[in-house]
A and B are shown apart, each in its own frame.
Chain A
Amino acid sequence: MRRVWLLATNVVREQRWFLLVMFAYITGITGMMLFAGDGREDDVLAVFKQVAAYGTFFSVVIAASLIQTDRKSRQIIAVLSKAVTRREYIAGMIGGVNLSTASYQAAVFASLFVLFRHAPIQTAVVMMLHLLVASLLVSVVTILFTTFLHPLLATGAAGMVLAAPIALEKMGWTWWARAMPAVALIKHALSFTLEQPLAVESGVLTLALAECVALWLLAGWIFERRDVTLAVE
């Protein structure tokens, strides 16, 4: 567990400039909405929801290139020459992405109370919980594909898998649409209002977390069978 934590915090350390830019972005957009929102609560809320949803997008962006960067820079050799299993390495990468996303979402959370002083805390917490689990699932799916695909292809493949439920739902295959609940979690999180409390979708959350564990194990299994010191192009 300690090794996973070390790897994860190292990812956050390497992403620190990106995160600082994101914090500056949240600060900037919060300030803009605060002073230029002009009392249009619905418009401000819509922009806020958009900013909150970006967190899951950042998960993909950060996750897509982590393994490739480590392999290209050869830093992976020094890490895997230690008592680190491939599964721990993958867990460290997932942990790093989600610590980064969580810090972004923490800033979004703070922004909500700056913009809406009367925002119900229960609703905010439930919204964040759903967004964080969605980010976790998104990052696990992306990292799974990066264990055997180029980051660009992995991003595409992850996008297709994560967005598949939208198409499946339109085709009437609602049961299959629930199988990959990232979009459902984001939709539910962003359906919050300042008036109504947001329900905890415990079934969907449990399914998402179970899928994260299964896909992490699968990613570890695949990565265990890969040569890590070959050129990655």
Chain B
Amino acid sequence: MGNDAALRFDGVTKEYRGFLGRTPVPALDKFSLTVERGEIFGFLGPNGAGKTTAIHIAMGFMKPTRGAGQMLEKGFGHAATRARVGFLAENVALVHRPAESAVRYYGALNGLRGVTLTKRTREMLELLELEDVVRRNVAKLSRGMLQRAGLAQALVNDPELLVLDEPTSALDPLGRVAVRELLLRAKAAGKTVFLSSHMLSEIELICDRIAILVRGRVARVGKTNELLESRDEAEVVFSGASGAAFPEAVLENEMLRVTVPKSAQRATIEKVWAAGGEVVKVNPARRSLEGLFVSLANQAGPGATVQKPGAAR
């Protein structure tokens, strides 16, 4: 736990109380996680796993039942710290004003004023390609446009930490690419991005580290590459040997690829050589993020999701 943590949860438990305080339902269970500064962190989990609850606790919208945490070295809910944070909610809801006025309003609430506020507002509207709708009331924007306006208000204060809950769920493929580039630019500028998303391909592409949350607990956390590498299997890529000796091999770019258990790796290489082939490379087998996600969710059983009584969706 370095001092450089942008976001840190320390054993956070959140229980939703039922009617008249009966039957508390845990949404987060001794949840601990550290997001280092300057990284893009992917936060995954099945529906109801507690992702939004964790984010809302970090932003100070909810109080944890037990445990605590820090955001930019201040306790959760510290208002002045939120001036250095950009937040986009899962279901964006903004004040019903023209888009430019709405972004200005949120910038002003974060302490921006005068020329800086005007400049940042215009830059964000331009960056999110909202120039054509600056005078249109946000209540009349399409869902994709509203999400862009939501991103604009999250970015207007040039935040050190971006907390984004499903930022691309309503965007078309072009919009998703644009947001991905925007997040990579933010990272290059030294910002931290905490990103919750169900777009696994997107997470796999841009996140330095990921955490998978199941039943309110971290089921797996680590560097994206390391998590996707299999510890039990290896991929052997070779050429020059007859495919007949390797019926399970897959032909790719005029080379054959076979996935074998780590224990059979040496025997496979020797078999390639015996068949007159040449081993091109041997790598740990890589699985998809989707595969990892599904296997972790399945391990947790059919009740992997936690239903919050009356909780905001």
With A82-B83, A229-B61, A231-B311 as contacts: A75 and B108 at CB distance below 8 Å: no
- Give chain B interface residues in 107-137, CB to chain A under 8 Å: 108-111, 113
The answer to whether the Cβ of A24 comes within 8 Å of any Cβ in the partner chain is: no
* B93 near A75: Cβ-Cβ < 8 Å: yes
* A10 near B95: Cβ-Cβ < 8 Å: yes
* A side interface size, CB within 8 A: 27
* A82 near B62: Cβ-Cβ < 8 Å: no
With A6-B109, A10-B105 as contacts: A227 and B63 at CB distance below 8 Å: yes
CB contacts (< 8 Å) of B82 on chain A: these are: 81-84
CB-defined interface of B144-158 with A at 8 Å, one 1/0 digit per residue? 000000100110000
* A81 near B85: Cβ-Cβ < 8 Å: yes
The answer to whether the Cβ of A32 comes within 8 Å of any Cβ in the partner chain is: no
* A82 near B109: Cβ-Cβ < 8 Å: yes
The answer to whether the Cβ of B1 comes within 8 Å of any Cβ in the partner chain is: no
CB contacts (< 8 Å) of A225 on chain B: these are: 63
CB contacts (< 8 Å) of B109 on chain A: these are: 3, 6-7, 79, 82-84
A2 to B59, CA, bound (A): 22
Minimum C-beta distance from A127 to chain B (A): 35
* B93 near A81: Cβ-Cβ < 8 Å: no
CB-defined interface of A1-24 with B at 8 Å, one 1/0 digit per residue? 011001100100110000000000
- Give chain A interface residues in 1-60, CB to chain B under 8 Å: 2-3, 6-7, 10, 13-14
Residue of chain A at shortest CB distance from B77: A224
* A77 near B61: Cβ-Cβ < 8 Å: yes
A83 to B16, CA, bound (A): 26
The answer to whether the Cβ of A66 comes within 8 Å of any Cβ in the partner chain is: no
A80 to B58, CA, bound (A): 12
Residue of chain B at shortest CB distance from A74: B93
CB contacts (< 8 Å) of B105 on chain A: these are: 6, 10
- Please list 14 pairs of residues, one from A and one from B, whose beta carbons are closer than 8 Å in the complex, sorted by A's number: A3-B109, A73-B93, A78-B95, A80-B61, A81-B59, A81-B61, A81-B85, A81-B154, A83-B83, A83-B109, A227-B56, A229-B311, A230-B16, A233-B310
Nearest 10 Cβ contacts at the A-B interface = A74-B93, A83-B83, A81-B87, A82-B109, A231-B310, A227-B62, A85-B79, A229-B312, A229-B61, A82-B110
